[in-house]
Structures are given as C-alpha cells and as structure tokens.
C-alpha cells in the first residue's frame, strides 16, 4: 500500500516534496472542516483526511492506495460514473476557485449505510500545466443545503428584506451590521451604527432593549415578541399628526418596535460560543399611535358625555361647571383652575378648581388672581384661543411665579366663550412626570371649556 508521504511526493511537483512538506500538508488536510480525498490521474486514492474518516468510517490506511472507489466507498454500479465525474476536472481548463464544479453523488460508509454528498473537485497541475491528480472536498448534501439556506436567509435579512428590520450585534452589544429597513426605522445610515454602542442612538427604553439582548446572549431570549418603546436621540421638536414629538423628516422621536432576539452561536465546537445576537423588529409606531389616539378620543368622548349627564342633575350652574372639571381630569391633567372675569373690574377671579395629583388649593376662591403681565391665562383671554406653556426642569420656580401649584410643569389655558363674550379662563396643569399638552389636548380642552362656559354664563354672565 502506498504511504501518505509517498503519495504526497508523487502529487507534488518533482524535486520539491520533502518530509517537512508532507507533514505540513498532512496537518493542513487533517485540520480542515471539510472531508477531503484525492486521486491521481489513474483514479488511485492518494489522500484521505480525518474528516473523511469520521464521516465514512474508512481509515486513511484502508483508503490510501486503493484503485478507485468502487466496491467499498461507492457501489460497483456507480463506481465508473463517479470516477468519470471526478476526473472530468482534469479535462477542464485551469479554473479559479469560483469556477470549480459541484458534484453530487452517493458514497458508502464502512457500516454499509449510504450518504449523499456534495463535492467540489479541483485539478492538481504541475507548473507546466500538466495534470497530476484531483482533490475532492465534500460534505453531507443535506448539511450543505442547510448551510446554504442559512446563508441565503442571512443575506435576505441583511439585504433585500424590506418588511423586517435587522441589526446584528457582537457579544459586547456593539453593532456589526444594519440592513436598510432598520436604518430607515431608526433614522440613521447603516454606516453610522457600525461599531457603536446602542446608547449612542437611544434614550428612554434603552434598558429594556439591552435586557432583551443580554437574555438572548445568555441563551434565554424572551419567549415571544417584545413591544419596545424607544426614544431616538434627536433634538427635533416638531409634532406629528397626533400631536406627539417628532424628529423632523425622519418621523417620530419615539418608536414602537415589535422585537425578537436571536442568539448567534459559532457552529464549531461542542459548546458553541456566542458570536452575538440578532435583533429583528418591525416598526409599528404609526399603527400603535393611531390605536392609542382612537382609544384616547373614545375615552374623552365618554367623559364628556358622563359629565353632561351629571351636570344636568345640578341645580346650581356653578356646581355643574365644577363637575365638568372633575370629569375632565382623568387621563388628561392633574389639576384644573377656573378663573372668571370680574363684572366690576377687568381682572380674573378664582371661581373654582378641581384638585388632582397636586392636592391643596393654589389660591383663595372669590379673590382676584394677580397674574403678572404676559401670563398664559391672560394671553388666552386676550387672544381668544388656547395657549400652551411648559416650564422646563431647569426652572423650579416657574409654577410659583405663575401662581400655580409648585408641582405643575405643563399648562394649557383655554378661554371661556359664550354668546360672543369671554367669561374667563380654564387652566389645566400637568406635573413633570407627564408629557406637555399637544394640539389634540388643546382641542379636548376647548370642548370642556365650551361646556364650562355655558354653565358659568348661566350662573352669572360677565361683561367683557
């Protein structure tokens, strides 16, 4: 039987094969992940690596030196066809790696079982171009197809897939790949995120996102899709169609992303090490905002209807006005103030209020409220339209300066109009834990003000 060293020397160029070369070649072949064997121009087996031993059961000593594959690694009926397809590489012109042909044929294991393999053949040539043999690298066809399907899926998710956004992160949660759908949803370019931590791009909601990614890396991803609200780090201050903050042309600053997390593990080794995690998501912000807007409008309409029914049972019109304030607060504001125009002087008088989260009253009822010039309530009265105001976290005395409860952070002042006259101002207040009033809130506040104005007018019309 021909030894491995003798065959290596014969396949290599004459005069250049040494014992060190043989050992290096043997080590390289045995370290390959693919099974591999080689034949000379006569079809005699010259190489057989350890991967081929493990896959088929035939040892190197049993394989090297055999004349052809028939009767042991291939059925006799298939032997001539398989060998002819292997040696066809010798008849082809010298090709590059991309042009090497694939072959599929059945092999026989030592235990008698058959296995369909997918092989890639390469001709071995002397420096003058004369062929000396053929190398055949092969693997189980089903495993190869699974690998190709996985690669095709990866390419689709990172390339042409438009419905699913995909972000790949390494084990340190730094971005390594972003597809076009993800870049569009997150208002970035794919290059912007590469190598960067997620904290560079997200504000509120980042902790929940990182928690899901870390769970996936630990091998325990969330059981189902997770709905995450993430705030993009953008200084845009515009509003969208629902009155929510917007980051300009790229869309809303807050995004609702239905997310899934997939652990990426290296396939080699008994215990695959995590390569990172894939974050796959869909941007459902618009649908969620629309659904939330519909639910909010439905609730507010119900509150207006309930307030109208309760006010109809009040004998005192002012009591009915206060009832409207009580019903307006849930889900809308933390506090409401009713200031009416004094019939004797052009000043606002505190008539009623509806304490909510702020508790204690902010002023004596029936006493003129000395708002300073330029106060939002006075602006609303002068302009005859709603005025929104926000104090900001850096202005701790803002509410006190405006003679509002100290915890107030956002205000909406709406003028009371009835029979062509301005009867006063209705002020709604929110704390720092809530968002500022938007256009939809102002429209609702005006609806409440219309009902309050009718009750105030019925109680005692003012002259302005």
Res 205 pLDDT > 60: yes
pLDDT of residue 29: 67
User: What proportion of the chain, given as a percentage, has pLDDT over 70?
Assistant: 77
Average pLDDT over residues 305-324: 88
Cα–Cα distance, 279 to 266 (Å, whole number): 17
pLDDT confidence of 346, banded at 50, 70, 90?
confident
Contact between 360 and 405 (Cβ < 8 Å): yes
Cα–Cα distance, 358 to 411 (Å, whole number): 13
Q: Which domains does the chain have, with CATH numbers?
A: 4-146 (3.30.450.20), 159-283 (3.30.450.20), 303-459 (3.30.450.40)
Contact between 144 and 137 (Cβ < 8 Å): no
pLDDT confidence of 444, banded at 50, 70, 90?
very high
Contact between 334 and 431 (Cβ < 8 Å): yes
Q: Give just the sign of the alpha carbon dihedral 437, 432, 435, 302.
A: negative
Most confident of 18-22, 93-97, 393-397: 393-397
* Side-chain half-sphere CA neighbours of 196 within 13 A: 13
pLDDT of residue 243: 47
Cα–Cα distance, 297 to 304 (Å, whole number): 11
pLDDT of residue 412: 94
Cα–Cα distance, 453 to 418 (Å, whole number): 6
Residues recorded for the chain = 464
**Cα–Cα–Cα angle for 320, 321, 326, rounded to 5 degrees:** 90
pLDDT, tens digit (0-9, with 9 covering 90-100), for 381-437: 999 899 999 886 556 688 888 888 888 899 999 999 988 888 999 999 998 888 899
Cα–Cα distance, 321 to 323 (Å, whole number): 5
* Side-chain half-sphere CA neighbours of 14 within 13 A: 4
Question: Is the model more confident about 158 or about 268?
Answer: 158
Bin 324: left if φ > 0, else alpha if -120 < ψ < 50, else beta: alpha
pLDDT, tens digit (0-9, with 9 covering 90-100), for 277-293: 888 888 888 888 888 88
pLDDT confidence of 239, banded at 50, 70, 90?
very low
Written in H, E and C, the secondary structure of the chain is CCCHHHHHHHHCCCCCCCHHHHHHHHHHHHCCCCEEEEEECCCEEEEECHHHHHHHCCCHHHHCCCECCECCCECHHHHHHHHHHHHHHHHCCCCCHHHCCEEEEEEECCCCCEEEEEEEEEEEECCCCCEEEEEEEEEEHHHHHHHHHHHHHHHHHHCCCCCCEEEEEECCCEEEEECHHHHHHCCCCHHHHCCCEHHHCECCCHHHHHHHHHHHHCCCCCCCCEEEEEEECCCCCEECCCCCEECHHHCECEEEEEEEEEEEECCCCCCCCEEEEEEEEEECHHHHHHHHHHHHHHHHHHHHHHHHHHHCCCCCHHHHHHHHHHHHCCCCCCEEEEEEECCCCCCEEEEEEECCCCCCCCCCCCCECCCCCCCHHHHHHHHCCCEEEECCCCCCCHHHHCCCCCCEEEEEEEEEEECCEEEEEEEEEEECCCCCCCHHHHHHHHHHHHHHHHHHHHHCCCCC
pLDDT, tens digit (0-9, with 9 covering 90-100), for 113-122: 888 888 888 8
Res 9 pLDDT > 60: no
354-367 b/e (C-beta count within 10 Å ≥ 16 → b): bbbbbeeebbeeee
Res 306 pLDDT > 80: yes
pLDDT, tens digit (0-9, with 9 covering 90-100), for 153-202: 666 666 665 678 888 888 888 888 888 788 888 878 778 788 888 888 88
Tokens of 234: 């953008």
Question: Is the model more confident about 37 or about 464?
Answer: 37
For the chain, the distance separating the N- and C-terminal CA atoms, rounded to the nearest angstrom, is 117
Residue listed under structure tokens 């709905």: 227
Cα–Cα distance, 454 to 362 (Å, whole number): 25
| Average pLDDT score over the chain | 79
Q: pTM of the full predicted structure?
A: 0.55
Cα–Cα distance, 183 to 162 (Å, whole number): 11
């Amino acid at each position: 039987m021909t030894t491995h060293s003798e065959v290596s020397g014969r396949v290599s160029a004459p005069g250049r094969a040494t014992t060190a070369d043989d050992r290096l070649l043997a080590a390289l072949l045995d370290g390959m992940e693919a099974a591999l064997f080689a034949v000379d121009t006569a079809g005699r087996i010259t190489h057989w690596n350890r991967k081929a031993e493990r896959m088929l059961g035939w040892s190197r000593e049993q394989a090297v030196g055999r004349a052809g594959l028939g009767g042991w690694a291939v059925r006799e009926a298939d032997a001539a066809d398989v060998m002819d397809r292997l040696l066809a590489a010798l008849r082809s012109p010298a090709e590059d790696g991309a042009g090497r042909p694939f072959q599929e044929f059945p092999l026989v294991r030592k235990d008698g079982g058959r296995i369909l393999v997918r092989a890639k053949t390469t001709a071995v040539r002397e420096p003058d171009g004369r062929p000396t043999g053929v190398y055949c690298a092969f693997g189980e066809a089903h495993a190869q197809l699974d690998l190709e399907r996985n690669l095709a899926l990866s390419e689709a998710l990172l390339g042409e897939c438009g419905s699913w956004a995909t972000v790949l992160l390494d084990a340190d949660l730094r971005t390594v790949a972003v597809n076009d759908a993800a870049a569009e949803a997150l208002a970035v370019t794919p290059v912007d995120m590469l190598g960067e931590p997620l904290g560079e791009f997200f504000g509120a909601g980042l902790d929940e996102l990182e928690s899901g990614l870390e769970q996936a890396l630990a091998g325990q991803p969330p059981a189902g899709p997770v709905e995450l609200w993430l705030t993009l780090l953008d200084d845009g201050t515009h509003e969208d169609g629902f009155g929510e903050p917007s980051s300009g042309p790229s869309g809303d600053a807050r995004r609702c992303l239905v997310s899934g997390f997939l652990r990426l593990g290296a396939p080699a080794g008994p215990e695959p090490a995590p390569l990172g995690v894939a974050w796959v998501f869909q941007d459902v912000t618009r649908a969620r905002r629309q659904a939330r807007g519909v639910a909010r409008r439905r609730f507010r309409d119900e509150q207006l209807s309930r307030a109208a029914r309760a006010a109809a049972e009040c004998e005192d019109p002012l009591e009915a006005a206060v009832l409207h304030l009580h019903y307006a607060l849930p889900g809308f504001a933390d506090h409401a103030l009713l200031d009416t125009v004094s019939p004797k002087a052009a000043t606002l008088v505190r008539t009623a209020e509806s304490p909510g989260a702020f508790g204690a009253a902010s002023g004596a009822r029936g006493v003129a409220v000395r708002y300073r010039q330029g106060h939002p309530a006075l602006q609303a009265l002068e302009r005859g339209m709603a005025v929104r105001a926000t104090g900001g976290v850096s202005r701790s005395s803002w509410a006190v300066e405006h003679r509002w409860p100290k915890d107030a952070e956002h205000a909406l002042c709406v003028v009371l109009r009835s029979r062509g006259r301005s009867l006063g101002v209705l002020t709604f207040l929110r704390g720092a834990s809530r968002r500022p009033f938007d256009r939809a809130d102002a429209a609702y506040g005006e609806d409440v003000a219309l009902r309050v104005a009718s009750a105030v007018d019925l109680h005692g019309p003012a002259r302005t």
